[in-house]
A and B are shown apart, each in its own frame.
Chain A
Amino acid sequence: MTYEERTTEFKARIDAGEKIEAGDWMPDEFRQATLKFIEMHANSEVMGCLPEREWVPRAPSLRRKLSLTAKVQDEAGHAQILYRVAEDLGKSRTQMFDDLVNGRTKFHNVFHYPAETWGDVAVIGWLIDGAALVTQKALLDSSYGPYIRAMRRICAEESVHLRHGEDLTLELVSGAPEQREMFQDAVNRWWRPIMHFFGPPSKPDKDILLYWGIKTRSNEDLRQEFFTTYVPKLWDIGISVPDPDLRFDQERGEWIWGDPNWDEFWQVVRGNGPRTKDRLSRRKSIWDHHAWVRETLERAPSSAAS
């Protein structure tokens, strides 16, 4: 069978809802697109540790110190899981880390921004994890089997994070005026990055990830779900959304939202976000300094395994 015939057959499997496994034959285009997508997801999990981990040492109670440490640990755990899935598509984790710290690969826009106050911890924990859960739940129906299994575990943990974030939020909004203000201020700063998080509207027929069934829902569709879930909750607790154009259009049955400033999005994901260089260079300095640890592990006697 020719490459083209096999590819046609492969595409038919996906269209019929079959799941692809790591050992299956797959067209290079599928392998590359899947690897790139999962690698970026893994990068985002590992970079996603950084804004929140800044607040682990500053958490204002023992309980929050524990829960925030555990939450960031879970994000590192997601990276561990996802890098393993990506590795089985043919790129080593060392190479992926090396590409990340040297700015050759990307990670999600929201992790390029600073976490200025404890209010940011609540916004990240509730709204950003909420946005992530909307997109991640949609991946449970992906065409790549190992990714689906990883996402099942990740989504289960994320739904705990969401409760955690909501809990942090509710303490702030029902607390002292300065705590409430802390949260509103964080929402104001994070709203646009959250809109960007879902990505620009794309044409389904041009989206390679949709074509191969790696993703199953469009960016705008997911953003609409986020609005529907979170905007009413924010309003209910008296927190405003910094978008004067935002409204639900009953006739069209969809949310109308304002100027997204996609220039900012493109600047950020290309590596020019407010904290991009800082975070990457710190991660790189630790990564480079500890090359000796990796060498030790690579060269460790593996007698127990033979």
Chain B
Amino acid sequence: MAEDPRLILLLALADDELVIGHRHSEWTGWAPYIEEDLAFSSIAQDEMAHARLLYEIASELTGEDPDALALGRKPPEYRNAVLCERPNGDWGFTVARQYLYDSADEGRLAALAGSSFKDLADAVRTIQLEERYHLEHGRLWFRRLAEGPVQAREHLADGLSQALPEAMALFETLPGEEALLDDGVITRSSEDLLGEWLERVGLDLESVSLDWVLTEHAAQVGELVPTSSGALEEESTPTLAVPGIERREGRWVHVGEFAGAGGRQGRHTEDFTPLWEEMTGLYRQVPGASW
């Protein structure tokens, strides 16, 4: 039996929120600036709480409880965009990812607020109230780092060029998307949302003269990697052209491929397996236990 496309949509949204919330929560206790430790931890909690809300709706469709959906599936059953699973790395990458993710989320949620799937539309309107803060936070840090000193701009630019190609894949077309559009469960296609987002991000980047990251990016995410244990690793990062972005008639547009596609199909990067093992290990250890 083909999977209910509504379930695919819910899991894609919920898995994004869970996995990015999980990464954000890894800063709790040692963010580089203690006031920020608290702000970022709240964003992590918001994202994980949103995931829970979405899993609750999904559990109505599958009959499984929300924890089983969040922590009891096999890696290929997770549909998060791979951007979300990348380790936190340097604060520059963290800021870049948070800004890109939350600006993408803003457009996506605005379109979902008009969904014909009532439970989803209701949840989205609640979620939007909290996402405002995330966007404010992401944009403020984006501007602070972009304003310099030079070193801060470099960290931000590195982070953006690492995150940007995979951020596009937040808008990778969902399996069953046509049926969702036909039924009004989603009101706009992923490609349509991507176009709108990319144009806006392009303007933001131009406004701080960092739009060159739209045409160049680093081959590997994870230059500096505070893992959940806090260890840092360093690697060199060759520069490649960003696939799928062109400037036409004064606007940044998407053409052709995604760099980080696959997440919506359950294909993940090498960073996902250790994350999954850590996140689900204890849940799987004592089946059926209450904690």
A and B touch in their complex, CB below 8 angstroms: yes
Chain A contact residues, CB within 8 Å of chain B: 46, 49-50, 52-54, 56-66, 69-70, 72-73, 75-77, 79-80, 83, 93, 118, 168, 171-172, 175-176, 178-179, 282-283, 285-287, 289-290, 292-297, 299-301
At the interface, yes or no: B129 with Cβ under 8 Å from chain A?
Answer: no
Give complex CA distance A171, B289 in Å: 9
Contacts of A168 in B (CB 8 A): 291
- Complex contact B289–A285 (CB within 8 A): no
Q: What total count of A-B pairs have CB within 8 Å?
A: 151
| Chain A residues positioned under 8 Å from B286 (CB to CB) | 175-176, 178-179
Q: With an 8 A cutoff between CB atoms, is B37 at the interface? A: yes
Q: How distant is the Cα of A53 from the Cα of B33 in the complex, in angstroms? A: 17
Given contacts A62-B67, A285-B230, contact A299 B291 (CB under 8 A): no
Which residues of B line the A interface, CB within 8 A? Answer: 22, 25-26, 28-30, 32-35, 37-38, 41-42, 44-45, 48-49, 51-52, 55, 66-67, 70-71, 90-91, 144-145, 147-149, 151-152, 155, 224, 226, 228-232, 275, 278-279, 281-283, 286, 289-291
In the assembled complex, 20 residue pairs joining A and B whose CB atoms fall closer than 8 Å, in A order, are A49-B30, A53-B26, A57-B26, A60-B282, A60-B291, A62-B48, A65-B22, A65-B48, A69-B25, A72-B29, A76-B37, A118-B282, A175-B289, A176-B289, A286-B232, A292-B152, A295-B152, A296-B148, A296-B151, A300-B144
Is the pair A46, B144 in contact by a Cβ cutoff of 8 Å?
Answer: no
Are B32 and A54 closer than 8 Å at their CB atoms? no
Q: Kindly report which residue of chain B lies nearest to residue A83, judged by CB atoms.
A: B34
- New A-B contacts (7) at CB < 8 Å, excluding given A69-B48, A300-B144: A56-B26, A57-B278, A61-B291, A73-B41, A75-B29, A118-B291, A283-B230
B186 to chain A, nearest CB (A): 25
Q: How far is the CB of A278 from chain B (nearest CB, A)?
A: 9
Nearest chain B CB to A291 CB, angstrom units:
9
The answer on a CB contact under 8 Å between B41 and A69 is yes
How far is the CB of B41 from the nearest CB of chain A, in Å? 4
Given contacts A76-B29, A297-B33, contact A171 B291 (CB under 8 A): yes
- B34 CB to closest chain A CB (Å) equals 5
A60-B71, A282-B230 as given contacts; A49 in contact with B29, CB under 8 Å: yes
How far is it, in angstroms, between the C-alpha of A77 and the C-alpha of B40 when the chains are bound?
12
Cross-chain contact B231 with A282 (CB below 8 angstroms)? yes
Name the distance in Å between B213's Cβ and chain A's nearest Cβ.
Answer: 18
Most buried by B among A65, A70, A77, A179: A65
A49–B28 Cα distance when bound, in Å, is: 8
